[in-house]
Amino acid sequence: MRVTEYGKHLTVTETAIPGLVVFDLPVHGDARGWFKENWQRDKMTSLGLPDFGPVQNNISFNDAVGTTRGIHAEPWDKWVSVATGRIFGAWVDLREGPTFGAVFTTELDPSKAIFVPRGVGNSYQTLDTDTAYTYLVNDHWSPDAAYSFLNLADETAAIAWPIPLDEVEISDKDKNHPRLAEVTPIPPKKTLVLGANGQLGRALRDQYGDAPHVEYADRVALDLASPDFATARRWRDYGLIINAAAYTKVDLAETSEGRKDAWAANVSGVTALARVASENGITLVHVSSDYVFDGTLDGPYREGDPVCPLGVYGQTKAAGDAIVQTVPRHFVIRTSWVIGDGANFVRTMASLAERGIDPKVVDDQVGRLTFTDDIARGIRHLVDTGAPFGVYNLTGGGDPQSWADIARDVFRLTGHDPARITGVSTEVYFASATAPVAPRPRNSVLDPTKLLATGWHVAPADSTLEQYLTVLREHTE
């Protein structure tokens, strides 16, 4: 029996299998025995270990040398270590992707541990008697979960077991697992897009496509207000939820009925969503608005500026932002003046131009157009690049403009005289309104510096507008 190595520093060694990392653990011993911190969240996450949120601790005790178990790939992460004794461990990547079938082996004693990411097959062979193999997992065992298994004797993996498999104790089930060519790879965690039939939802469909691990849902398919929402899915199978659903009728929100609906969708529903994301380690992307600000700032709004909404819609969006920011893994995407596939300001102006109508357009509200394709692309950029969680401003590029400026651009780009647009103040524009009108921020300019620092690039909004109108014209001809 080998003696546990004392006096190591806490260090990390990466392996050829992405996400599979080995930790050397400090073990302190004397004549009485030894002590170690087997799992220390702050220290280990500071070295790059995912904050994987274990919910269960399991121990497998093995009497004899040569006891062999595995190869099992479960849909959860594991923190594997040894309390007593010693093992030869073998791990095989059984996830979809280019490293499928990659193998890593090492010995573990109490001075070593290994983080095994979801979908990596786990197996071991005991090298000492009375070996206690321990592991933390971040999900409870479920018969409904998706598992994959690999035969311990698979010729492709070609694991060099210290003790030949025909000389050791193996369960009949482990003996009969499939060879690598017959293994069903573990797919990525699921992505769920909410609000999938809205303007942004349709852009997200174009961005993520029909990948089998991506699901799309509208309110009919998945109601956040349902008392069964917390159990509507096996949420531990999800890695990402993109919330593109919201109540956005800013003027109707000023009525008694609209106020109730706005708070139900933008606050109560978001609360239920945030609770599910927090409890299941899901990354939550939530799309917010320039309406969380009152528009009185002299200059662009940054992410850290205090929110100060003017109307009911803005108040509900600000409340939703605050709730989402309690989720450990979150992105709040603040955007403005959204244009996509559906009824919107640009389509309206193009239609008025074609019909010979000369509109009056507000000229004292300033911001940037933001196209849904850019929002969808920006969301994916943040998620895929592993950008730090937090709040990000995401708008089109270029110089800020008023609504009247944009209307003139639409007229010009569609071959009409931009002088047909008359700029008016917000007060004049709404002077004859008979229904409640929500207050609008005069300054909707959001500073994108934080997002640009992640490597994000976006075209000036006026050039994207030209492309948008070209496509619109092609579809209407």
Catalytic residue among 6, 9, 28, 72: 72
Q: Is 72 a catalytic residue?
A: yes
Residue that the structure tokens 């599910």 belong to = 276
Q: How far is CA 103 from CA 156, 184, 357, in A?
A: 10, 17, 69
Using only the alpha carbons of the chain, give its radius of gyration.
28
Whether a cis peptide bond, with omega within 30° of 0, leads into 71 is yes
Angle at 116 between CA 114 and CA 117, to 5 degrees: 145
| Residue 255 · residue 436 · CB < 8 Å | yes
Parallel, antiparallel or unpaired: strands 330-335 and 283-289: parallel
In angstroms, the CA 63 to CA 170 distance is 13
Q: What tokens does 222 get? A: 């998945």
Catalytic residue among 124, 133, 135, 291: 135
Q: Is 135 a catalytic residue?
A: yes
Which sequence positions are flagged as catalytic? 72, 135
